[in-house]
Chains A and B, each alone.
Chain A
Amino acid sequence: MIRRLHGDPGGSRLSRRDLLRVGSLGLRSRRVRASLSALGISIGIAAIVGVLGISQSSKSGLLRELGELGNLISVQAGSTVAGQATELPTTADGMVARIAPVTNVTELASISSVSVYRSPFVPTIDTNGISLAATDAALPETLGVTMAQGAFLNPATAHFPAVVLGAEAASLLGINSLANPTQIWIGGHFFTVVGILHSVPLVNQLDSMAFVGFPIAETEFGFDGHPTELFLRTVPSEVSQVAAVLPETVEPADPTAVQWNLPSDTLKAAVAAKGAYNGLLLGLGAVALLVGGVGIANVMVISVLERRSEIGLRRALGATRRHVAEQFLAEALLLSVLGGVAGTVIGGVATAVYAASQHWSVQIPALALYGGVGAALAIGAIAGLYPSMRAARLSPTEALRTV
């Protein structure tokens, strides 16, 4: 028999592909244990991806729902130096409507001296926090709000004792249906409820209001015709230009007495504030991730102890210390990446299911996807480092002596 006995025997080597095979062997032959130890990482990653995905989807869903264009401007009278609320001029809406990019305008005048009751027999202090306002027929379109029941005020009903209730005002008064003629008691007069609005998340103070027409407000409540607030919509690209000229237009005599704001900005701030509470859930996800990492490290340490004879055998077959370390490190990385991928999928599916149930579009930040798997990888590397070093440090005979 012919055998090579001379010359360089060549080193021992382990190709990447073989490393992957060897590293996955432990997982393939102990599937239940592998899945359980990857579970911690999965849960952590799923929580993080789910929280980020759901909050992103909800933000975008909310903003879209609420007029993502952000072209609604609200105009109020400022307060005087003495702190008294001033009124807007009666000409304000006509002036504003003349600004070219303005597409819709509606006026609102709150009539704070008059309270709203379900019936004349309700004690006068039980106002339920419902405030009365006079407005015009353009309000639903300008604010992009639809009717839950009945119809809004129109130029005809504006002259009659007819009232439209905001969503919350209706429920405070216990009025769910307009199937039967319903009357409420406003400022000593019966008013017929002709409509109930859906809620207006963009300007939610409208929800607790009752709306009557300007003409009836003048005749019944001595309203002087000065609006307190104006809402207008502009061509979306012209919002800032319009805003810049608003004070001058509304009150040429005293522009500083006019204030304006963008309700969508306020809302964005509110949505962003909601993100703060997501921080807590994210923190929980991170803790789960950490626990998952500790779990993997633990399983790997046990695995190294249990597989001493395998380590000894591999050393006898020609594995270097480095090959042994790489095998266990690869195993830890595979475990954590499997956990990370599973967690990302679970988090993504959870987001998709939840978003679908809310009629939102599914939005998962790319950072959550890559970051999730990346974090899993990093955790696997850290968790696998110590066990793999331990495996590599075992001397072949020590490892073989175990059985």
Chain B
Amino acid sequence: MTVAPAPPFPVLELIDVVKEYRGDPPVLALAGINVQVHQGELVAIVGPSGSGKSTLLHVMGTLERPTAGELRIAGEDTSTMSDKQLSGLRSRRLGFVFQQFFLLDGQSVLDNVANGLLYRGGRMAERRRLAQQAIERVGLAHRAGHRPNQLSGGEQQRTAIARALAGRPALVMADEPTGNLDSATGASILDLLQELHREGTTIVVITHDHDVAAAMDRRIEIRDGRIIGDTPTAW
């Protein structure tokens, strides 16, 4: 085990990243992005609809390869990695939270959370143990045995967050995690993310809400696939 170096260490680094979607006409979703995310940061990505926020997050999370430019995760260049290597990276280093939660109704909350560790291998009992811990961290211990469709929207999103956290990833990425929730529930989810951040998790959150963004350490504002503003974290 290594202790994280004290001057901020870049968990994520994008160098001249371009993403173009083929079509007629082609869509330039990301038009040259240069950004670093450091360990322990809580970053908000804001911008109008269609500005390229989700695309940026997908590229950051290796779910989509950039058309040009370089993506480094924990210092490693991902451009030459195979599907298998990228999947390994996602299973060990990255956690995702989506607006639509994406929970499997056929499984209990506990097993849904344990799915966050599924593709790392290891024993089922151990995965469940870690999942239980993550469930406790998001305050859902009393719901562990329920099915997702028996939970409220906020509880479902907490479950999804627990799933992203269970493997203690280097980076958690959330694409409008409060988008499907009422404002009070959304606020509690943001509180949870901030609490996790205080405990040391590195988090990137996409949000439409400027008030929410204002509460974050760092705000990256994008428009038309370009970064037009970056309020850096005050270390």
Task: List the interface of chain A (C-beta within 8 A of B).
Answer: 1-6, 9-15, 17-18, 21-22, 25-26, 28-30, 309-310, 312-323, 395-397, 400, 403
Closest approach, in angstroms, between the C-beta of B159 and any C-beta of chain A? 13
Q: List 28 A-B contacts (CB under 8 A).
A: A2-B1, A2-B3, A5-B2, A5-B9, A5-B170, A6-B2, A10-B88, A12-B87, A14-B119, A15-B121, A18-B124, A21-B124, A25-B104, A310-B102, A312-B102, A313-B102, A315-B90, A316-B63, A316-B94, A317-B91, A317-B119, A318-B88, A318-B119, A319-B87, A320-B87, A322-B84, A395-B64, A396-B58
| Alpha-carbon distance A185/B104, docked complex (angstroms) | 87
A13 in contact with B120 given A2-B3, A397-B64 (CB within 8 Å): yes
* B118: interface (CB < 8 Å): yes
| Alpha-carbon distance A14/B121, docked complex (angstroms) | 6
Q: Is the CB of A9 within 8 A of B96?
A: no
Q: Is the CB of B119 within 8 A of A9?
A: no
Q: Find the A residue at minimum CB distance from B106.
A: A29
- Given A26-B106, A316-B90, 20 more A-B residue pairs with CB atoms under 8 Å apart are A3-B168, A4-B1, A5-B39, A9-B74, A10-B92, A12-B84, A12-B119, A13-B121, A14-B119, A18-B121, A25-B107, A29-B104, A310-B104, A315-B90, A317-B115, A319-B119, A323-B87, A396-B58, A397-B58, A403-B102
* B4: interface (CB < 8 Å): yes
| Residues in A whose Cβ lies below 8 Å from that of B75 | 5-6
Find residues 92-121 in chain B having any chain A CB closer than 8 Å to their own CB: 92-94, 96, 98, 100, 102, 104-107, 115-116, 118-121
* B201: interface (CB < 8 Å): yes
Closest approach, in angstroms, between the C-beta of B188 and any C-beta of chain A? 23
| Alpha-carbon distance A71/B172, docked complex (angstroms) | 85
| Residues in A whose Cβ lies below 8 Å from that of B105 | 29
* B48: interface (CB < 8 Å): no
Closest approach, in angstroms, between the C-beta of A323 and any C-beta of chain B? 7
| Alpha-carbon distance A314/B90, docked complex (angstroms) | 10
Q: Is the CB of A321 within 8 A of B83?
A: yes
A18 in contact with B118 given A1-B200, A395-B64 (CB within 8 Å): yes
| Alpha-carbon distance A317/B75, docked complex (angstroms) | 21
Q: Is the CB of B199 within 8 A of A1?
A: yes
| Residues in A whose Cβ lies below 8 Å from that of B170 | 3, 5
Closest approach, in angstroms, between the C-beta of A84 and any C-beta of chain B? 84
Q: Is the CB of B1 within 8 A of A12?
A: no
| Residues in B whose Cβ lies below 8 Å from that of A18 | 118, 121, 124
Q: Is the CB of A13 within 8 A of B119?
A: yes
Q: Mark B1-20, 1 if CB is under 8 A from A, else 0.
A: 11110000101000000000
| Alpha-carbon distance A198/B1, docked complex (angstroms) | 91
| Alpha-carbon distance A374/B74, docked complex (angstroms) | 48
Task: Name the one of B87, B116, B163 contacting A315, with C-beta atoms under 8 angstroms.
Answer: B87
| Alpha-carbon distance A27/B119, docked complex (angstroms) | 20
